[in-house]
Amino acid sequence: MFWDLKMTNPGAMGGNFPHEFHLPNPSAEDTLLICKSCGNQSKKDEVESFTNCGKCDSKDLKIIETVEVGHTFQLGERYSKVFEANSPNGNPYFMCCFGLGITRIIAVAIDVLSVSYKAMKLPNILSPFKVVTILPKENSVNSVFVQSFINDISNLPGLCNNVLIDDRIEKSTGRRINEENQLGIPNILVVSSHKHPFEIQPIEYFKTFSNSDKLEKIGNLTHSELFVELSKI
């Protein structure tokens, strides 16, 4: 749940229509009061009485501990006029401010989406890599197959520079799967050992989901089946 607060106090820089964006977080940097009767949202430090809604006077309030992750407001022409920053038609530029707490967003997103230390969950857009490919031991790998497979998936539009190759073959596959889950990589591929030069080499595909530390096995897929699945990312 995301809270968008229309603030009444514009703050030090001035400006109109200030909004603060909050995510629930137990570190409780801020406390929001949400009125269950009229839906009015306010920050605890903005209201004098914490027991009644400032708008409809209801006592039925929900208290939510949050962290502010964004702040937007309109500066208008306040600074552009002073600095004579004019658009080509001669009017001062109309300025808006969009403040995002980059480090906070990462920390709070992990808190909101993760359920245990076994899996660091991030929004897909923030994950360090979209896909990791875990390679088997050197003596059990068909290197031509693996090379062409990795080239193919790395060339998918959604995966450019987003495929991590885990070739730490001194570690067991299970351990590496767990470590990739802890890194927050949402799609984990495991290239199985190559037993016979003419057999089709399947690849195990695991996916992770928000608010869960479990890996879901999608299946043992062939090169082309996996290509279709990963094209959707």
The residues binding Zn ion (CB under 5 A) are 35, 37-38, 40, 53, 55-56, 58
Cβ closest to Zn ion, residue 40 vs residue 72 = 40
Cβ-based nearer residue to Zn ion, 53 or 188: 53
* Dist. CA 35–CA 171, nearest whole Å: 53
Q: Find out whether 32 and 81 touch, Cβ atoms under 8 Å.
A: no
Contact of 58 with 37, CB cutoff 8 Å: yes
What is the signed CA dihedral for 73, 78, 83, 89, rounded to 10 degrees?
Answer: 90
Smaller CB separation from Zn ion, 56 or 96? 56
Closest contact distance (angstroms) between CB of 50 and Zn ion is 13
Instruction: State the minimum distance, in angstroms, from the CB of residue 12 to Zn ion.
Output: 29
**Cβ-based nearer residue to Zn ion, 53 or 134:** 53
Q: Give the C-alpha separation, 226 to 149, whole Å.
A: 10
Q: Least distance from C-beta 229 to Zn ion, angstroms?
A: 48
Minimum distance, C-beta of residue 47 to Zn ion, in the bound complex (Å):
11
State which residue, 47 or 106, has the beta carbon closest to Zn ion. Answer: 47
User: Cβ of residue 71: shortest distance to Zn ion, in angstroms?
Assistant: 24
Q: Which is nearer to Zn ion, 40 or 80 (CB)?
A: 40
CB of 9 to Zn ion, least distance (A): 19
